[in-house]
Structure 1
Amino acid sequence: MAAETQTKPPPAKETFHFINDPAEAINDALVGLTYLKPSLSYNREYKTVYRNDLPTFARDHVTTIGFAGGGHEPMFGGFVGHNFLSAYVSGNVFASPTAAQIFEAIKMCQPEGSKSMGTLIVCGNYTGDILNAGLAITRAQAAGYKVHFTPVGDDVAVGRKKGGKVGRRGLSGHLVALKGACALAQRGESLERVAEVMEYVAGNVGTIGVAFDRVALPNATITDLQTLPPATIELGMGAHGEPGLQQISPVPSPESLTSQMLDLILDISDKDRAFIPFSASSHPSADNEVVMLLNSLGSTSDGVLARFAELANADLEKRGFKVRRLTLGPLVTSLKMSGVGITIWRLPPDSGEAMSRAQALELWDEQVDVVAWRQ
């Protein structure tokens, strides 16, 4: 008698994301914002969150649009509202919104057409985002809309040699720059002035991240979680799990790691990565005051961020810098990535550049009415 054979069921995969339906994850997240903040509305067809008073506000104010792939919540949906963004356009997870989505958002932000004050559009520096924005803006300008586009690349892990013509990746620097630009838009400033401040601040911001793992996408088939070797971190890992500068094992002490991360942002002798125009790496002269942002990449707690903030502040003081403002929290995440990012904004010198130091801090301190910004 032939032996009976049994087929073993395949091993169950561990669920990584706690979601309802992967196809509806973005809609669920953005609809949820309108419950948290009833002053927001959501256009499901174009995956666009916008402030309820947009038609009235846009009549005599520059409007501002942030767009990105999903999976980086709360960016940018959590920053739509008074004194911040006018609208946010979301793509699918880690994918740019389409040109049609972006064009529709421009039309929403300029109901008066050519009579409108114009729209500032901002995204991180990624190829898909740039291409789709270019198509949308070309179409919008041909139709008579006034638009200024600023892609932001602040990741110092990508040096000039590696970045080439593409440039640095965008991380959390655009939030820093948008804080002042959107405050100016709320005051009724021109598109030219709003764009000038946006680009000036973006040119004085640098970010470096570090993480323990990459990310798995919440698609229809549960994906395997890509992990680094045990007791290993990756310095400079990208927001979508792109390779960083180096894998480090064993994991250094928080003090050593913080210092290494700040070196990458501040060292003006590193010609490949000296993007921020400080006068010196240690004890700079007229540009020794900064704003610092500590960002959770997804699963890092406020307590851990606070410790990194403490260490970074002490390290900066030793170098002769003064941290004038600090914020931390989950601002630009990468799903559940276990990591942290440090962003440094070089404040203008006392003599001023595109704006004075006093005005820079005044704009930073403007109160906002959004879901995600901590003041």
Structure 2
Amino acid sequence: MATETQTKLPPAKETFHFINDPTEAINDALIGLTHLKPSLSYNREYKTVYRNDLPTFVQDHVTTIGFAGGGHEPMFGGFVGHNYLSAYVSGNVFASPTAAQIFEAIKMCQPKGGKSMGTLIVCGNYTGDILNAGLAITRAQAAGYKVHFTPVGDDVAVGRKKGGKVGRRGLSGHLMALKSACALAQRGESLERVAEVMEYVAGNVGTIGVAFDRVALPNATITDLQTLPPATIELGMGAHGEPGLQQISPIPSPEALTSQMLDLILDVSDKDRAFIPFSASSHPTADNEVVMLLNSLGSTSDEVLARFAELANAELEKRGFKVRRLTLGPLVTSLKMSGFGITIWRLPPDAGETMSRAQALELWDERVDVVAWRQ
């Protein structure tokens, strides 16, 4: 006699995120952004946020496009607006937007038959982003559009040996560089000058992050993820949970952790990761002033960031550096990862480089009208 067997379904797993539908998470977030900032519009088909005044702005200004996978909000949607980005193109969570999306954004920024000064396109240094941007830009240039592309890799956890030809991962350094480049675009500068400053600042920026956990994706159920052991942090973890330099246990004091993080950014004797061209690791001369950014990876509070900013400022002063400007907050997140990053921008000397120190600070201080930037 045949018997009927029943297949018992495994219990449903909880999700870690307050979202309605994982497939609509990006649209929900970006549509919500336009309610928060009515000067922005959203193209749902191509997941693109843009300035409402874009049709007139493009006639006399270089346009700037930032693009990335979703899940890093407010980057870049929260930085679209006056004195910052012209448009942002989003992929799905942790996935690059397609070449078609990027190409449509270029066309939006350079309407056919109209006057255009060109477009600067910026993303973090990730393989999918680079490949899709390359396809879009090749197509755009063949069609007669004027475009300059700058991928930014600022993660000092990835040394030259490990990075190889791929290079460093992009974290929050591109926000620092875009602050200057977009201010120049707003002033009516040429694409050549805007791109020159973008690449110059990006080449003088370094970031190191640390986290207590890896990120969980909002894919309706929890994907099995490698988790860190108790009382452990990972120094140099990437924005998508990529492995870092080392796991540290027991967790060091905030003072010791801050000092170790700054060592990785400032040490010019470390040939594998001395990316920022400081004249000296301690007590430099003409380039002893910096701008510092403390970034929450998602769940680290402003109060915690402020304490680490205070510790970093004291440590920098001890090493002969002066922090001229400081900003902090959830600027480039990894959903709700528990961690933070320190980004340092080596300010130029008074003269002799692509921009002077006075010019750099003037561009940094330009007021913006966007959702996420704090001044």
TM-score range, shorter chain: over 0.9
- CA-to-aligned-CA distance 1:275-332 (integer Å, 9 cap, x gap): 0000000000100000000000010000100000000000000000000000000000
- Residue 112 (structure 1) shift: 4.3
Q: Distance in 1 between matches of 2:6 and 2:100?
A: 53
Unaligned runs of 5+ in 2: none
Find runs of 4+ consecutive structure 1 residues off by over 3 angstroms: 1-12, 112-115
- CA-to-aligned-CA distance 1:225-257 (integer Å, 9 cap, x gap): 542000000000001000000000000000000
Tell me the TM-score normalized by structure 1.
0.97
CA-based RMSD: 1.9
C-alpha spacing 1:220/1:4, structure 2 compared with 1 (3 Å): closer
Matched residue SS, 1:113: coil
- CA-to-aligned-CA distance 1:262-287 (integer Å, 9 cap, x gap): 00000000000000000000000100
Q: Say whether the 8 Å CA contact 1:23–1:220 is kept in structure 2.
A: no
Q: Say whether the 8 Å CA contact 2:61–2:117 is kept in structure 1.
A: yes
Return 339-348 or 105-114, whichever deviates more: 105-114
Q: Say whether the 8 Å CA contact 1:78–1:373 is kept in structure 2.
A: yes
Q: Distance in 2 between matches of 1:272 and 1:225?
A: 30
- Residue 12 (structure 1) shift: 4.4
- Residue 216 (structure 1) shift: 1.1
Q: Say whether the 8 Å CA contact 1:113–1:145 is kept in structure 2.
A: no
- CA-to-aligned-CA distance 1:66-119 (integer Å, 9 cap, x gap): 000000000000000000000000000000000000000000001145841000
Q: Distance in 1 between matches of 2:3 and 2:109?
A: 72
Q: Say whether the 8 Å CA contact 1:209–1:341 is kept in structure 2.
A: yes
- Residue 220 (structure 1) shift: 3.6
Q: Distance in 2 between matches of 1:136 and 1:35?
A: 30
Q: Say whether the 8 Å CA contact 2:84–2:370 is kept in structure 1.
A: yes
- CA-to-aligned-CA distance 1:147-206 (integer Å, 9 cap, x gap): 000000000000000000110000000000000000000000000000000000000000
Q: Distance in 1 between matches of 2:77 and 2:224?
A: 28
- Residue 223 (structure 1) shift: 2.6
Aligned to 1:33: 33
How many residue pairs get aligned? The number is: 375
Unaligned runs of 5+ in 1: none
Percentage of pairs with the same residue: 94
Q: Say whether the 8 Å CA contact 1:215–1:337 is kept in structure 2.
A: yes
Q: Distance in 2 between matches of 1:146 and 1:225?
A: 43
- Residue 222 (structure 1) shift: 3.4
Q: Say whether the 8 Å CA contact 2:15–2:220 is kept in structure 1.
A: no
Q: Distance in 1 between matches of 2:248 and 2:18?
A: 30
Matched residue SS, 2:114: helix
